[in-house]
Amino acid sequence: MVTLIRILNCLLLLLLFTFLKAQDRAIEFPDIPGYRTLKCDFHIHSVFSDGSVWPDIRVQEAVKDGLDAISLTEHLEYQPHLADLPHPDRNRSYEIAKELAKPYDLLVIHGAEITRKLPPGHANAIFITDANKLNIKDSIEAYREANRQGAFVFWNHPNWIAQQHSGVATLTELHKMLIDKGHLHGIEVVNDLTYSDEALQISLDHNLTIMGCSDIHGLVDWQFRLDQGGHRPITLVFATEKSEAAIKEALFAHRTVAWFDNLLVGQMLVLEPLIRKSIKIGKATYQGPSSVVSVEIENVSDATFILKNESTYTFHSDSDVITIEPKGKKVIEVKTGEQKSQIELQFSILNALMAPNQHPSVSWIVDVDL
């Protein structure tokens, strides 16, 4: 009987731990030198276009995920719920969400989705003042109006197979014109459940800001399997402060990293400092008189870091690829040949991309206790 009670107690503790772990879903990434790391999702929907939930759910999900800013980007032209939810004012979902977010430390940025056939396809305009003025027939004029309102405009899901049957993001002459005129500023490299190498290359070739968005229509929990360790795709924005003005400045300055399915995608200008602040090198000591040094590595972020050894040294108890779990620590044993007061460790970051098929390489100088 005592053994059975102990087993039941262990099962209850396990269930309690699993429940508490599921509730602790706030996404965390460290700040980088000179900037705050803000977690943002600038492409989400509610019943005010083709989403399945009222705006309050979007606010609650964002609060649970620890986001700093969201934008409800309802389709201007596509309104499948209009018979049940007539609303001539396309600003309504923003106004509701803005009010609901007041008790929380969450910014709600005014946005809308310009929904057109390809080209130009769909685009989000955020930091707008009036969505109704974008709801016009002429596609180019809609972009012009967004820019007159001071919007940041980005190309949505350029690899969407419903419009781009090959799944390959392809820049058209119309997009080139919009970029040249300064009407298009960013591109979704990540949308929902997809990542696009081609979109990343377009962003690099044409100086467009890298964006990662959930484009959520249903429930975040279900779509991204949060109960199985998944996470919603987001854009990490590196801003001077937590304000709409600072986020807007950072977006136009291209200081972003997209986080998708544990993959970090961005320019090295911000990607490298994010990696350096996420991975901390701790105590390093030799094992007695040997030339094998034990080095503690800590990951303070919510990404699982996968590191491939590019150092001149090999490891004693690991292969050349090591994994450091979120908020986890790992000790690696490095064979240095002789005892040294300082060593250099260099890794290719396999869960990060700075260009298609190009992983950033980052090195750390490690001081060893002798």
Report the alpha-carbon distance of residue 282 to residue 275 in Å, rounded: 15
> Does residue 119 have a cis peptide bond before it, meaning omega lies within 30 degrees of 0?
yes
Query: Residue 85 has which token pair?
Result: 């939810």
Instruction: Give the pLDDT mean for 40-69.
Output: 97
Instruction: Give the pLDDT mean for 131-139.
Output: 95
pLDDT tens digits, one per residue of 149-208: 999 999 999 999 999 999 999 999 999 999 999 999 999 999 999 999 999 999 999 999
- Lookup result for tokens 């990696």: 275
- pLDDT in the model for residue 370: 85
Instruction: Give the pLDDT mean for 344-368.
Output: 97
Task: Calculate Rg over the CA atoms of the chain.
Answer: 23
What pTM was estimated for this model as a whole?
0.92
Task: Please report the DSSP string for 209-277 in residue order.
Answer: EEEEE--BSS-HHHHTTGGGT----EEEEEESSSSHHHHHHHHHTT-EEEEETTEEEE-HHHHHHHHHH
- pLDDT in the model for residue 18: 39
Q: Which residues of 254-270 are buried (b: 16+ CB within 10 A; e: fewer)?
A: bbbbbbbebbbbbbeeb
pLDDT tens digits, one per residue of 292-333: 999 999 999 999 999 999 999 999 999 999 999 999 999 999
End-to-end CA distance of the chain: 54
Give the three-state DSSP class for 15: helix
Report the alpha-carbon distance of residue 275 to residue 324 in Å, rounded: 12
